[in-house]
Amino acid sequence: MSAAISTNGLTRRFGDFTAVQNVNLDVAPGQFYGFLGPNGAGKSTTIKMLTGLLAPTSGSIQVLGMDFATNAIEVKRQIGVVPEGMALFGRLTASEYLLFVGQMYGLDRATTLQRSEELLEFMNLAGETRKLITDFSHGMQKKLALAAAVIHAPKILFLDEPFEGVDAIAAGTLKQMLQGMIARGATIFLTSHVLEIVERLCTHVGIINRGELIANGSLEELRAGVVAQTDPSDATKLLTLEEIFIRVIGKQDGNSLAQPEAELSWLG
């Protein structure tokens, strides 16, 4: 069975700066994959390349067995994306936007209208029929962006910080929806700085730092690997994802995150 997402030597340079270097990634179908990394590590650049927002300098991307470069349109038909900026058209209403998105993905009008009605109700946005998206709060915009990303029932969903700015109740609803999608066989690729959420939702995790993929596997695999490399004496220790993350990044950065309290002493 081919991977849902697979990259080979994925590299992106901006002039002399290499943002992503030789990333080889495999995400199996049905996986809830968390893609982590510190700020500026190359997460957004990678997700932009995986979704067609940015062309790679070299390397290849396979999505559902199709080469992205040669089958971009077909690949895009199969994926849903909530990008960093949410890609909303501010001067449309929520239902107009969903109608537009559905039709852009080739859904017929009746199906689009039915799904958008259900999605708006599910996202608790059904009462905002006359309000323009530009007048929505950040959280409402996020929910709408997610609704738009799933309206065509994508096989793979890419989410860039989906829970940022979303209230706790809505976040719970969204998590439930995402888990439902996974149960039905969809693949989700998620980036988030909230490691507790990633730990709770994701079965597999990749960690990128300075443009390189430095860890990749299931949570158990990562846990075992980190313990074996940093604290072999206690193989039974159950590390949290945050601890795994800090150890993996700290190891590559020479433990620069180890003693933050020693810095900035003038802060009082």
Partner 1 sequence: MAGVAQEPSAGPGNVPETGKSLSSWRFFTTIAWLRWRIFANSLRGKGAWGELAVRFLSYPLLALMIFGPSVGAGIAGYAIVHRGRDAWLAAPLWVIFALWHFINISTSTTAPSFDLTTLTRFPIRYADYFLIRLLFGLLDPPTVAGITCLAAMCLGVAIADLTLLPWAACALFLYAACNVLFSRMLYSWLERWLAKRRARELVTGMILIGSLGIQFGAQFMQRMSEHRGAQPSAWVLKTGHALVAANWLLPPGLTAKAIEHMHGGSVGQAAAALAGVLVYTGVFLLILHVRIRAQFLGENLSEAPAAAQARRVRLRPAEAIAGAASTPSRRLLPAGVAACLVKELRYLLRSGPKLYVLIMPVFIIVLMSARSSGLSYLGVSRGMTGILFSYGCAYMELIFVGMLYNSLGSDGWGVQFYFLSPMRFRDVMLAKNLLVGCILVVEMVLMYLVAASMSKAAPLDLTVATISWTVFTFLLNTAIGNVRSITSPKGVDASKMRSQNVSGVNSFISLLVVLVSVGLGALLFWVCRWLHTDYWIAAGVFVILAGVSMAIYLATLQRLDGIAVEHAETLTRELCKG
Side chain identity at 150, as an amino acid letter? V
> CA Rg, the chain, in Å?
20
Among 122, 119, 121, 123, residue whose Cα is nearest residue 139: 123
Decide: is 76 part of the binding site for partner 1 (CB under 8 A).
yes
User: Tokens 């793979």 label which residue?
Assistant: 156
Nearer to partner 1, 132 or 224 (CB): 132
CB burial string 166-194: b at 16+ within 10 A, e below:
beeebbebbeebbeebbeeebbbbbbbee
Decide: is 86 part of the binding site for partner 1 (CB under 8 A).
yes
Rule CB under 8 A: which of 180-239 touch partner 1?
Answer: 180-181, 184
x/- contact string, 97-136, with partner 1 (CB under 8 A)? --xxx-xxxxxxx-x---x--xx-xx-x--x----x-xxx
Contact between residue 190 and residue 35 where contact means Cβ atoms under 8 Å apart: yes
Decide: is 66 part of the binding site for partner 1 (CB under 8 A).
no
Residues with Cβ within 8 Å of residue 45, at least 6 apart in sequence: 12, 19, 20, 54, 211
Decide: is 262 part of the binding site for partner 1 (CB under 8 A).
yes
Decide: is 268 part of the binding site for partner 1 (CB under 8 A).
yes
Q: Return the range that interacts with partner 1 (CB under 8 A); candidates 178-186, 190-198, 217-225, 242-250.
A: 178-186
Residues that bind partner 1 (CB under 8 A): 51-55, 73-74, 76-77, 81, 83, 85-92, 96, 99-101, 103-109, 111, 115, 118-119, 121-122, 124, 127, 132, 134-140, 150, 153, 167, 169-170, 173, 176-177, 180-181, 184, 262-266, 268
